[in-house]
Structure 1
Amino acid sequence: MPPLFEEIDSQSSPLGQISLRKRRMPAFGDRDIYEVKLGEEFLMSSMFVEAEEALSTLGLAAVQGDDLSVVVGGLGLGYTAVAALKDERIAELLVVDAIETVIGWHRKEQVPLGKILNEDTRNRYVLGSFFDLATDPEQGFDPDSAGKQFDAILLDIDHSPTEYLNSANASFYTTENLALMAQQLNPGGVFAMWSQNLPEAQFEALLNTVFAQVTSHVVSFYNPFQGGESTNSVYVCVKP
């Protein structure tokens, strides 16, 4: 019988100790549940992936055309990236993460979706701060092509526009810095972002200072711990 709990890896990172764990909960069936913790804070769980996947499906549904170049900010357990690669229009996907350990979990296939990402030749990992690269359009996200523009940028790093994984990220959520990121989108390109909270009117107003169209989606999913529905949000913004 597989163990009910296993810590697969734990490493120091610029943000603190980050760990990958696997557990089984017999009440939830015969499956492994993967979790990521940063210090004592739970970052993500493979039990709740609907909104991370919806970030890709909702964001890419707003993109027109084929041969798409897409950036995913935040690798996590890989669900946003794998959902994006299901769109056959994608020609290349850059997955940006600031924590080398997280990229290593996927390269070594210590997480279930690592093999899928490694075998898809459209996928490329980029080690770096999404926020630094987003606000430096002259360099941009692609280390092999300075100033390159993309068809979509999908962001899942902070907990919400007002609750940050790292307090330094707060400076990104301004008209000036969102506009710098938008320079890296092709005309009609899409910026989409996940949030753990319901849509926030103040953030929608901020997005409207940069983008021609802003739509907020509420994503519902069953939460067995609460015995009912939970919700996250996805903001989808279209560049003029």
Structure 2
Amino acid sequence: MSLLFEEIDSQNSPLGVISLRKRRMPAFGDRDIFEVKLGDEFLMSSMFVEAEEALSDLGLAAVKADKDLSVVVGGLGLGYTAVASLKDTRIKEQLVVDALDTVIGWHQNEQVPLGKDLNADPRNRYVHGSFFDLATAPATGFDPECAGKKFDAILLDIDHSPTEYLNAANASFYTTENLSLMAEQLKPEGVFAMWSQNLPEPEFEALLGTVFSSVTSHVVPFYNPFQGGESTNSVYVCIKGR
């Protein structure tokens, strides 16, 4: 029988102390719940993964190419977006970019349940680096083994929303200039998709429209047992012009 609470790991990071925890809540069934905290702030929980998976499903559904897709996942988290992405049989390679080597280590060492799935799939590769730095440097780009590579899709789940940031320095990414630099790394008709904890924000949709030929926002509902009802996140899906 699992302990009701266990702190699996806790380490300093450039953003503060980041910790991986596991707990059981008998009222929510016979399962382990994994959580990540940064300082006193909860970043993610395996109880709420529907929108993280929808980020992959909705983003990749908008990709027109029928084979050999190259995909970037920005933000590893607990691995749900990355694993959902690899269910698409069109994918040839996937780079998962994370600024925290601690989080990558949790997966490589299989301290989180989905680490085993990601490690076993030869299409998946971890990239330790700042998504935002790599996104705005198209001459080098996301792949340390192939400068300037173009991708079919970039799936982003790092900040809480386009106006609420995990790190205040990330705010500079959400401009026409820097989104355009990222879009240079997409193939023609490539897709940029992004998760947000909030409902779609019209000002951000308008900003995305200055870079992409098509912008669609999706509201993703999920059951929240703590609130006894439905909660929502959202996913923005953008398509680059030809």
Give the Cα separation in 1 of the matches to 2:69 and 2:38: 33
Residue 107 of structure 1 corresponds to which residue in structure 2?
108
Residue 173 of structure 1 corresponds to which residue in structure 2?
174
Give the Cα separation in 2 of the matches to 1:17 and 1:64: 41
Residue 229 of structure 1 aligns to a residue whose secondary structure is: strand
2:57 paired with 1:57? yes
Residue 188 of structure 1 corresponds to which residue in structure 2?
189
Q: Which amino acid aligns with 2:163?
A: T
Give the Cα separation in 1 of the matches to 2:2 and 2:113: 16
- Give a deviation string over 1:178-212, Cα, whole Å, max 9, x none: 00000000000000000000000000000000000
Residue 134 of structure 1 corresponds to which residue in structure 2?
135
Q: Which amino acid aligns with 2:21?
A: R
Q: Which amino acid aligns with 2:108?
A: R
Q: Which amino acid aligns with 1:55?
A: L
Give the Cα separation in 2 of the matches to 1:6 and 1:45: 14
Give the Cα separation in 2 of the matches to 1:215 and 1:93: 24
Give the Cα separation in 2 of the matches to 1:132 and 1:153: 14
Residue 147 of structure 2 corresponds to which residue in structure 1?
146
Identity %: 83
Residue 9 of structure 1 corresponds to which residue in structure 2?
9
Residue 30 of structure 2 corresponds to which residue in structure 1?
30
**Per-residue deviation, 1:122:** 0.1
**Per-residue deviation, 1:64:** 1.0
**Per-residue deviation, 1:2:** 1.8
TM-score normalised over the length of structure 2: 0.99
What are structure 1's unaligned runs of at least 5 residues? none
Q: Which amino acid aligns with 2:39?
A: G
Residue 45 of structure 2 corresponds to which residue in structure 1?
45
Residue 201 of structure 1 corresponds to which residue in structure 2?
202
TM-score normalised over the length of structure 1: 1.00
Residue 119 of structure 2 aligns to a residue whose secondary structure is: helix
Q: Which amino acid aligns with 1:15?
A: L
**Per-residue deviation, 1:150:** 0.2
**Per-residue deviation, 1:144:** 0.2
**Per-residue deviation, 1:232:** 0.2
Q: Which amino acid aligns with 1:26?
A: P
Q: Which amino acid aligns with 2:175?
A: T
Give the Cα separation in 1 of the matches to 2:174 and 2:185: 16
Residue 120 of structure 1 corresponds to which residue in structure 2?
121
Let me know the Cα RMSD of the aligned residues. Answer: 0.3
Q: Which amino acid aligns with 1:131?
A: F
What are structure 2's unaligned runs of at least 5 residues? none
**Per-residue deviation, 1:79:** 0.1
- Give a deviation string over 1:116-163, Cα, whole Å, max 9, x none: 000000000000000000000001000000000000000000000000
Q: Which amino acid aligns with 1:230?
A: S
Residue 84 of structure 1 aligns to a residue whose secondary structure is: helix
Residue 226 of structure 1 corresponds to which residue in structure 2?
227
Residue 55 of structure 1 aligns to a residue whose secondary structure is: helix
